[in-house]
Amino acid sequence: MGAKLRVVRRRIKSVQSTMKITRAMELIASSRIVRAQARVEASRPYANQLTSAMEDLARQAGSLNHPLLEAREHPTKVGVFVATSDRGLAGSYNSNVMKIAETTIASVRARGLEPVVYVCGKKGVGYFRFRGVPMRAEWQGFSEVPPYEKAEEIGRRLIEDFADGEIDELYCAYTDFRSAFTARATEKRFLPIAPEEVGGKTAKAAHAEYLFEPAPAQILDHLLPQYLITKVYAALLESAASENAARRRAMKAATENAEEIIKVLTRQANRARQDEITTEIMEIVGGAEALSGASKE
């Protein structure tokens, strides 16, 4: 009986230690969500202003013509950029992204085209490497706090491959952050850029007239790559916020489960201790009765 009690108490201590870790990770993730959400909000004014600049350019030039805007008539290769996390313990965050990525790859193959995979995040790299899926490029080590420099590196690599004909289209699978409680794995086309994304939108308000220096084509050569890099950066920021939100939820659930396990184990320990005390009392009473009977004889 004593051995059983020691085992239960050892399990209680083990679960308590695990619960301390999960609670600490929950608190850390909670603090990171706020900063990640702030980074997402801070990046939006730049993207909006960049889009507005291209709208002004389209209004003045009449139309936009650029290789990044042109859909190719006979595509053969389609790039799939997948944004995952570097660390686990985030619930279904990575599995949801991978499902979207697999669906996108399957749809590309169904069109008779060859998928070209680009992966950001250690979990995604491990996933495709384990399944023997070749990756054209991979990036790791910054999923929770993605710097703009890395987004620029990724964006320029994707633009370079598109310009060189290594890919004819580009889709991105990432997690769209809505709130600390809502995030959805999604897939969007990044290349070629849809003209309606950057073309002038119809509006009743009067627009200012601009004189362009240098020529509109040269300005477009600079703005469109920056626009794609901004979209990549936004996807990484959304994924980072979603990752921390998913980790907080997972660690909160783990902490609550640990508390329930401790309650169950505590009841088992109390029952074992009670059985142990009852056994000791019975042994004492039995011994006293035996001594009493012996003395009467």
52 vs 247: which has the higher pLDDT: 247
CA angle, corner 19, sides to 28 and 22, nearest 5? 25
Q: Using DSSP, state whether 91 is helix, strand or coil.
A: coil
pLDDT at 127 over 50: yes
pLDDT in tens, 251-293: 998 898 988 998 888 888 888 778 777 777 877 877 777 777 6
Show the beta-strand stretches assigned E in 121-247.
135-139, 169-177, 183-191
Question: Which burial class, exposed, middle or buried, applies to 212 when counting CB atoms under 10 A from its CB (0-12, 13-18, 19+)?
Answer: middle
Whether the upstream peptide bond of residue 45 has omega within 30° of 0, thus cis, is no
Strands 169-177 and 183-191: antiparallel
CA angle, corner 153, sides to 148 and 156, nearest 5? 120
pLDDT at 47 over 80: no
User: What pLDDT does 80 receive?
Assistant: 95
- Residue 68 backbone dihedrals phi, psi, to 5 degrees: -75, -10
How would residue 204 be classed by pLDDT, with cut points 50, 70 and 90? very low
pLDDT in tens, 239-253: 998 998 888 888 998
65-199+223-244 fold = Pyruvate Kinase; Chain: A, domain 1 (3.40.1380)
Any alpha helices (H) in 179-215, and if so which ranges? 195-198
User: What pLDDT does 211 receive?
Assistant: 63
User: What pLDDT does 72 receive?
Assistant: 81
| Residue-range domain boundaries for the chain | 65-199+223-244
User: What pLDDT does 88 receive?
Assistant: 85
Residue 66 structure tokens: 């650029």
pLDDT in tens, 55-69: 666 666 556 667 777
pLDDT in tens, 139-169: 999 988 899 999 999 999 999 999 888 999 9
What is the C-alpha to C-alpha distance for residues 170 and 198, in angstroms, rounded to an integer?
17
Share of the chain above pLDDT 70, in %: 86
pLDDT at 212 over 70: no
